[in-house]
Amino acid sequence: MFTKDQIKNQYFVGDCKDILLNIEDDTFDLIITSPPYADQRRNTYGGIHPDKYVEWFLPRSEQFLRVLKKTGTFILNIKEKAFNGERHTYVIDLIKALKDQGWIWTEEFIWHKKNTYPGKWPNRFRDAWERCIQFNKQKKFNMYQEAVMIPIGDWAKERLSRLSEKDKIRDISAVGSGFGKNVSNWLKRNMVYPTNVLYLATECGNKNHSAVFPVTLPTWFIKLFTLEGDFVLDPFAGSGTTALACKQLNRNYVMIDILEEYKIMAEERLAKAVQLELNVIGQKKVKSNENN
């Protein structure tokens, strides 16, 4: 078994199912990943037949379950494709199988891809969203909601001008749930909690890996579910986007990918990011020296 110091900020090459056997139980605070899609991208790193997807995934998620801390979270970015003119059910089947494996299906976030190209198929429109499915080991898990608050924006100004008397008093829920809202309370605040729909642009800059997610995607979940110094795993790491996000946020990462070429690509990306940071620090120093 590796110690935590041995795995800290490392990129391992191999099948995540085998690599994880060397990592102790309860190691990670967050697992966030985008696995190979069923039968897609056959030419790059091999596809798994959609009918076999659940069977392929379960031995790997068994390891994820073991290495995730009890208070940790697993975010699975996935989207079912259409086969033979209909949506395949492998993602839905996978959710059910993961529940049977012991996971709690806590939430589903939608990643709305803001910048997809227009397109048309005979019987459907272009995909512009993907699932980010949240699983946990127990109902009580670490979540830092304040870390992802967003500016309230123009909604407040507009709503304020139209505030009714009812809005200004506590509005007891009409369905008798006991929950109520007082909209005027929210108007005094500058920051609000986001919804479970994430409006993020897709990655256009990285042409070398065919299925990169934008750095803003892992960044958002890392902020929501971890603190500085926590451990984050991406078992299908590709070009290392999750590692990049971890580096920027001072989290420790462990990356795994079956292809050596992606490790090299990730290391180049990380080195470039570090160089960029050093350049910025250098420029700031020069400026402050000039000002003194």
Binding site for ligand SAM (CB under 6 A): 15-16, 34-36, 45, 209, 211-213, 235-236, 238-239, 241, 256-259, 262
CA dihedral in degrees (71, 14, 18, 59; nearest 10)?
A: 70
Structural element, H or E, at residue 13:
strand 10-13
183 vs 259, which CB is nearer to ligand SAM? 259
**Token reading at 262:** 């992606």
19 vs 95, which CB is nearer to ligand SAM? 19
- Taking the complex as a whole, how short is the minimal distance between the CB of residue 44 and ligand SAM, in angstroms? 7
Residue 116, CA atoms < 13 Å, CB-side half-sphere: 13
Strand partners, 113: 200
- Taking the complex as a whole, how short is the minimal distance between the CB of residue 194 and ligand SAM, in angstroms? 22
**Token reading at 221:** 């979940």
Separation CA 219–CA 248 (nearest Å) = 9
- Taking the complex as a whole, how short is the minimal distance between the CB of residue 143 and ligand SAM, in angstroms? 22
63 vs 226, which CB is nearer to ligand SAM? 63
72 vs 214, which CB is nearer to ligand SAM? 214
- Taking the complex as a whole, how short is the minimal distance between the CB of residue 11 and ligand SAM, in angstroms? 11
Main-chain dihedrals φ then ψ at residue 9, nearest 5 degrees: 55, 40
Closest CA to 215 of 239, 250, 251: 239
Closest CA to 215 of 206, 207, 224: 206
Separation CA 222–CA 176 (nearest Å) = 36
211 vs 270, which CB is nearer to ligand SAM? 211
- Taking the complex as a whole, how short is the minimal distance between the CB of residue 262 and ligand SAM, in angstroms? 5
- Taking the complex as a whole, how short is the minimal distance between the CB of residue 206 and ligand SAM, in angstroms? 7
- Taking the complex as a whole, how short is the minimal distance between the CB of residue 38 and ligand SAM, in angstroms? 11
Separation CA 4–CA 23 (nearest Å) = 8
Q: Which residue is nearest to ligand SAM (CB)?
A: 238
Contacts of 150 (CB under 8 A, 6+ apart): 191, 192, 193, 194
45 vs 83, which CB is nearer to ligand SAM? 45
16 vs 246, which CB is nearer to ligand SAM? 16
